[in-house]
Amino acid sequence: MKKLINMGLMSCFVIGATVLVATAQAQQVGSAQRGLRLARNLCADCHLVVKEAGRSSIPQAPPFATIAMTPGLTDAALTAMLQSSHRTMPNIVIKGGDIADIVAYIVSLKEND
């Protein structure tokens, strides 16, 4: 009986952990479509935000497609970058799910190999 209870508790733990991980991943995903709208409103004054030939309006501001192709770039690294201030970038506060949306948009610009 004790073994059966332990197995039941372990099953509940595994199911609970799986739900927590799935929820956390779902919250981080974001919408590339919303991210493009946000990027056009918040970032396009300095960055080229769409994937097309051209340059950013400010030479020091890399195009989003260039950022997307940075080797080893991850969603977590982009999120941290958007939450950190930079000397050459204005302090734009991006809140909550908006960060996930912008990250999803930038990641969507990666070229498929």
The 10s digit of each residue's pLDDT in 14-57 is 454 444 444 444 455 899 999 999 999 999 999 999 988 889 99
Cα first-last separation, the chain: 54
Report in angstroms the alpha-carbon separations of 46 from 49, 55, 62, 112: 9, 10, 9, 26
What does the alpha-carbon distance between residue 109 and residue 32 come to, in Å, rounded to a whole number?
9
- Could you give the angle at which helices 75-83 and 96-108 cross, rounded to 10 degrees? 130
Q: In the structure encoding, which two tokens stand for residue 102, read together?
A: 């912008």
User: CB of 51 within 8 A of CB of 65?
Assistant: yes
CATH topology for 31-113? Cytochrome Bc1 Complex; Chain D, domain 2 (1.10.760)
> pLDDT > 70: what percent of the chain?
73
Where does 31-95 have alpha helices with state H?
Answer: 32-42, 64-68, 75-83
Does this model's pTM top 0.75? My answer is: no
